[in-house]
Amino acid sequence: MTAQPFPVEIPFLDDLGVEFLGMGNGEAQIALTLQPRHMNSWQVAHGGLTMTLLDVAMAMAGRSDNPDIQASITVEMKTSFMQAGGTPGHRIVAKGKTLHRSTTMCFCEGEVWNGDKLVAKAMGTFKYLKRIEAAKKMHRG
């Protein structure tokens, strides 16, 4: 997959340099080429960066097949770290997948990969926020 524009503007992800690779059918992928600013004191990818990528990939996967969902809020997330995420110059990819959906909640899993090495795995629960119709907005104002 090659980088595409994010479906919505997220300044924090822009600042990190996260690339949107795609989403659909309950799955999503994003990527990042690690820079020195992404490192921890051991000079490997910071765990908070890894968790951010997992959170975003899972949330996007949960919204990927329902156009009425504007956003999702993370309710719970558990992450297991397998190994260091990488050093500057490595490209890491986060993959999210929907496991189960209800009308208001979504349960997802995510993985971060550095090449063929599994860096971290997560499970997350997300609450949906639905789009407010333009007509409803106009009648309020």
Instruction: Dump pLDDT digits (tens) for 98-131.
Output: 999 999 999 999 999 999 999 999 999 999 987 6
Domain definitions of the chain by residue range: 11-140
- Report whether 27 contacts 67 (CB < 8 A): no
3-22 mean pLDDT: 85
Give the predicted TM-score (pTM) of the model.
Answer: 0.89
* pLDDT (tens digit per residue) in 79-101: 999 999 999 999 999 999 999 99
Gap between the Cα atoms of 121 and 48, Å rounded:
13
Q: Using a CB cutoff of 8 Å and minimum separation of 24, what contacts does 107-113 make?
A: 108/58, 108/59, 108/61, 108/62, 109/58, 110/54, 110/55, 110/57, 110/58, 110/61, 111/54, 112/50, 112/53, 112/54, 112/85
CATH code at 11-140: 3.10.129.10
Characterize the bridge pairing of strands 105-114 and 27-33.
Answer: unpaired
